[in-house]
Chain A
Amino acid sequence: MSKIKVARKSTLIDMTAMSDVTVLLLTFFMLTSTFVQKAPVQVTTPGSVSEIKIPEHDILQILIDPKGKVFLSLDKQPDMIETLTSVGRDLGVDFTSAELQKFKLQQTFGVPIKSMKAFLAMSTEQQDKVLPELGIPTDSTDNQFKVWVRNARIANPELRIAIKADQSTPYKVIKRVMSSLQDLRENRYNLITSLKVQSDK
Chain B
Amino acid sequence: MAELQTNEGGGKKKGGSKQKKISVHVDFTPMVDMNMLLITFFMLCTSLSTPQTMEINMPSNDKKVTEEDQQKVKESQAVTLLLAGGDSIFYYTGLPNYKDYTSLKLSSYKADGIRALLLKRNNDAVYKINELKQKKLQLKITQAQFTKQADEIKSGKNTPVVIIKATDNATYKNLIDALDEMQICNIGKYVIDTISAGDKFLLKNLQTRGELSRNVAN
Residues of chain A having any CB pair with chain B under 8 Å: 12, 14-16, 18-19, 22-23, 25-26, 29-30, 32-36, 45-54, 56, 64, 162, 164-172, 174-175, 178-179, 181-183, 185, 187-196, 198-201
Contact = CB atoms under 8 A, between A and B. Distances in A.
B53 A33 contact: no
A158 to B, nearest CB: 16
Contact of B56 (A45, A189, A200): A189
Given A36-B45, A201-B110, A169 B171 contact: yes
Contacts of B42: 26, 29-30, 33
Majority secondary structure, A binding face: mixed
Contact of B171 (A29, A162, A168): A168
A63 to B, nearest CB: 12
A167 B176 contact: yes
Interface in B5-31: 25-29, 31
Contact of A52 (B29, B48, B55): B55
Top 8 A-B pairs, shortest CB-CB distance: A15-B28, A33-B46, A22-B35, A167-B173, A29-B42, A182-B61, A46-B173, A172-B168
A123 B169 CA distance: 39
Majority secondary structure, B binding face: mixed
A23 B111 CA distance: 45
Given A53-B53, A190-B56, 13 more contacts: A14-B25, A16-B26, A19-B32, A25-B39, A34-B46, A35-B47, A48-B52, A48-B54, A48-B183, A165-B172, A189-B55, A194-B52, A199-B111
Given A19-B35, A22-B35, A171-B169, A187 B49 contact: no
A171 B51 contact: no
10 contacts: A47-B176, A52-B53, A53-B53, A165-B172, A169-B172, A170-B172, A174-B172, A195-B52, A198-B184, A199-B111
B35 A16 contact: no
Given A19-B32, A50-B183, A174 B175 contact: yes
